[in-house]
A and B are shown apart, each in its own frame.
Chain A
């Protein structure tokens, strides 16, 4: 076997896969803005992504805020800078932890479920049935899911911001003996609008990516139950990787000097 040919084939396969994904994303976005619209399907997806992900996002950001307060206090105590704990917690939560952790949690919960649902619909011919019933499956299945992910993750992150900062506050007040007024004052003084906005922009991008990968892998699923399982795994893994990559890119765009 010629190793150069093998590398070439792998590279071409990668380009082909990327091209397919970009075309799928472009088709999905075009269906989002063109009628007919399916408000009932969109509402169901918004509830599924937004409301039902609340507990997992709330718990994740709460404990992240709490542990961040503990760890940063340990570090800052070495420089007698314990007063910076509230600011560090709020910056870390709003800029990074809430959007990234919420994105990863939603990828695990929603991305996998979208891939499994659409994959099952593919292998049981339900997607074909939609086409025969004068309904474009991209418009009915994919567009509402991607729009719901794009719209709901920022709301989840906003809630996560508040709960994460509250987690730091609990540890600060009850464990590290901060004064409540001083802790809240520190938080207000440190956090800028740009910190929150950057987190929300990240959340919108992550919501889009998670839904896109869930739909893409589910929609293209083949090979029965094994194929559906593979689609769910691929959706979660690719979403997680893309979240981390885009987290860096968006951070660079917002905060690079």
Chain B
């Protein structure tokens, strides 16, 4: 278990290449217990790959990911499932299961982990839906019947249903109008606070980052090039951060045309 000064998540020297393309080149990042850290960076800089390494969806080529002081790289089978059972994930596109009604989507993790029977999981799922502002009638709908914003809310309800210690948010506001994006941001802040969870989000939406982050880290070229409190981001003194937060085409960041 982690000591009093040990971060909830500690990433050191994380490397990952796909073929000849090196995506992560030594990512170092700490996330404290109960802290909300947002990783910003351009498309294709490895933000999603970093999160997928933490969830065991992508096997890193090198480096270490300590969760509560325990190494999670290389875990398989039941050991990986035990670690993942303490985590929730909101995917960029929602990733709701098309073949299941909304409430079963939300209850899925509870039933799969053996925490609840299918019948007992339904009230918990409906409670999670209520937390994100959706009524019980939504629980009976299929995901295809929902708007993009509602799908994001359901995905958020699924991510928090098992009351995880750590929640990952992958581009939570992508594809939403500004008002719905703000609603989702508020829900994220509220849910993370209520659960007392540690949150790691990745986004390139600066409005979202400013709203949900305690601390922001910028990933560029496979490394964290700046990290600091959200209040200091406008005076970071880092050229990469300045160019990114102001959305300027000119600067040290050259956008890759190919992935």
Q: Which A24-62 residues have a C-beta within 8 angstroms of B?
A: none
Instruction: Choose one: B56, B77, B97; the contact of A129 (CB below 8 Å).
Output: B97
Stretch at the interface among B38-46, B87-95, B186-194, B222-230: B87-95
Q: Are B109 and A134 in contact (CB under 8 A)?
A: yes
Q: Are B85 and A134 in contact (CB under 8 A)?
A: yes
Instruction: Choose one: B55, B77, B92; the contact of A132 (CB below 8 Å).
Output: B55
B174 CB-CB contact with A under 8 Å: no
Task: Identify which of A131, A133, A136 gathers the most chain B CB atoms within 10 Å of its CB.
Answer: A133
Which of the four size classes fits the interface of chain A?
Answer: 10 to 19
Q: Which B60-96 residues have a C-beta within 8 angstroms of A?
A: 77, 81, 84-85, 87-89, 91-93, 95-96
Q: Are B108 and A124 in contact (CB under 8 A)?
A: no
Q: Are B92 and A125 in contact (CB under 8 A)?
A: yes
Shortest Cβ gap from A194 to chain B (Å): 41
Q: Which A121-174 residues have a C-beta within 8 angstroms of B?
A: 121, 124-126, 128-129, 131-136
Q: Are A128 and B112 in contact (CB under 8 A)?
A: no
Instruction: Choose one: A120, A129, A134, A136; the contact of B91 (CB below 8 Å).
Output: A129
Which residues of the partner chain A approach B84 to less than 8 Å between Cβ atoms? 131-134
> Once bound together, how far apart are the Cα atoms of A125 and B89, in whole Å?
11
> Once bound together, how far apart are the Cα atoms of A193 and B200, in whole Å?
64
Q: Which B100-148 residues have a C-beta within 8 angstroms of A?
A: 108-109, 112-113
Shortest Cβ gap from A236 to chain B (Å): 22
> Once bound together, how far apart are the Cα atoms of A128 and B91, in whole Å?
9
B57 CB-CB contact with A under 8 Å: yes
> Once bound together, how far apart are the Cα atoms of A134 and B81, in whole Å?
5
Query: Which residue of chain B is the closest to A132 with respect to CB atoms?
Result: B89
